[in-house]
Amino acid sequence: MRFIRTNDYAAMSRKAANIIASQVILKPDSVLGLATGSTPIGTYDELVRMVNAGDLDLSGVHTANLDEYVGLTHDHDQSYHYFMNQHLFSRVGLDLSRTNVPDGVSADPAAECARYDKLIKDLGGVDLQLLGLGHNGHIGFNEPQDDFPKGTHLVDLTESTINANSRLFEKKEDVPRQALTMGIGTIMAARKILVVVNGAGKAAIVKEAFCGPVTPKVPASILQFHPDVTIVGDAEAFSQLPF
């Protein structure tokens, strides 16, 4: 694992965007695995800036997002479809047919999960997967549990995730209880992984996930077994690392 320590959120975002940009410059038809949450917003802002400056062309990429809430329509302002349009896709004029987010309003979630796994496979797999880190160690919406889920699947969100994400909804009752997420197997199949973490609130889980035992109780810990992981964090998020 490669740890890149930056001074603050802005520097973390620039560094992460540069890593994504270098991937796309070297392989313009890359498949980018994308993430939501507050952490990658600055990374997307930087990518938009690079595209507007003429330094980056995203028109040849395909994207596949990690996850989506069950029951939120694509135009719901807390859906991950909406998030991605708002923070990236619409701002860089990305052809939406090249973008993919699991469909949380599918009438048949199991079929939707199978479709999503096949889609990623048919695209040739993910070249670079961007990840945030949940406070309980989740990646995508793979919550702490007894095993590592393989493919895209339906999950029941834990109380801690519902609480953490309730800040974005009017009231806690509005937070969906379920989501569709790429599995740990799907994430681990990405050729490269880029994790972004910032803030003192992530310091303990950064240490536990990346220096502690590999266990499905801390889903991100499996990344220790991936051959090409880069973790870009600010000084606060890295403050408990022993190096």
**135 noted as active-site residue:** no
CA distance 184 to 96: 26
Q: Is 66 an interacting residue with respect to ligand GLP (CB under 6 A)?
A: yes
Q: What is the DSSP pairing of strand 62-65 with strand 99-100?
A: parallel
E strand segments, the chain: 2-6, 31-34, 62-65, 67-69, 99-100, 128-131, 153-156, 178-181, 192-197, 229-234
**67 noted as active-site residue:** yes
Instruction: Catalytic residue, from 46, 65, 67, 117: name it.
Output: 67
Q: Are 192 and 127 in contact (CB under 8 A)?
A: yes
Residue 225 identity: F
| Selection from 235, 199, 195 nearest residue 16 by Cα | 195
**Contact string (CB under 6 A) for ligand GLP, positions 173-212, x = contact:** ----------------------------------------
Q: What is the DSSP pairing of strand 153-156 with strand 2-6?
A: unpaired
Q: Is 161 an interacting residue with respect to ligand GLP (CB under 6 A)?
A: yes
Residue selected from 12, 15, 19, 37 as contacting ligand GLP according to rule CB under 6 A: 37
**159 noted as active-site residue:** no
CA distance 195 to 170: 29
Instruction: Catalytic residue, from 117, 143, 234, 236: name it.
Output: 143
Q: Is 140 an interacting residue with respect to ligand GLP (CB under 6 A)?
A: yes
Using CB under 6 A, which of the segments 56-64, 97-105, 134-142, 209-217 binds ligand GLP?
134-142
CA distance 119 to 182: 12
Cα–Cα distances in angstroms (integers) from residue 242 to residues 6, 80, 100, 194, 207, in the given order: 16, 35, 38, 21, 8
**112 noted as active-site residue:** no
Residue selected from 39, 85, 142, 152 as contacting ligand GLP according to rule CB under 6 A: 39
Q: Which of residues 74-133 bind ligand GLP (CB under 6 A)?
A: 132-133
Residue selected from 20, 32, 35, 209 as contacting ligand GLP according to rule CB under 6 A: 35
Using CB under 6 A, which of the segments 15-23, 33-41, 94-102, 105-113 binds ligand GLP?
33-41
Binding site for ligand GLP (CB under 6 A): 35-39, 66-67, 132-134, 140-141, 161, 165
Catalytic residues: 67, 136, 138, 143
